Amino acid sequence: MPFPVRVGDKWTAKILVCLRDGPRRFSELQVPLARVTPKVLTESLRAMERDGMITRTVYDEMPPRVEYELTPLGHTLFEPLAASCAWNAEHGEAVARAREEHAQRV
C-alpha cells in the first residue's frame, strides 16, 4: 500500500533517481530496478512520458537504440520528491503502526 505522500506511481521515484544523471536505455534501467517486471517498467515510463516528465528517443541504428531522458519538467519533481521522502522517513513508521492497529480492530 503506497504512503499518503507520493510522486507518481510505485516506480516513478526510483526511475527519476536512475535518470537524474543523464539518459538511460531500458536495459540500463532494469539493472537498478531488478524487481520491476518489463511490463510494469514500460507502463511507468509511458505514464512519465505522457506527463511530460521524460522523453523517449529511438535512434535509427541496428539494433535500434531507445533512450529515456528527464525533461526540465521532470527535473522539477526532485523538490517534492525530497519533501515526500522526508515526510515518509519521519512518519512512515507511525503510518505502518496505525495500519497494523487498524487491521487488528476491524
Residues that bind its own copies (CB under 8 A): 4-8, 12, 49-53, 73, 76-77, 79-80, 83-84, 87, 90-91, 94-95, 97-99, 101-102
Closest CB 67 distance from its own copies, rounded Å? 18
Do the Cβ atoms of 30 and 14 come closer than 8 Å?
no
Considering the complex, state which of residue 7 and residue 34 has its C-beta at the smaller distance from its own copies. Answer: 7
Closest CA to 7 of 81, 78, 91, 75: 81
Neighbouring residues of 84: CB distance < 8 A, sequence distance ≥ 6: 3, 5, 6, 7, 13
Find where cell 535509427 sits.
Answer: 60
Closest CB 22 distance from its own copies, rounded Å? 21
Considering the complex, state which of residue 17 and residue 83 has its C-beta at the smaller distance from its own copies. Answer: 83
Closest CB 24 distance from its own copies, rounded Å? 19
Closest CB 105 distance from its own copies, rounded Å? 10
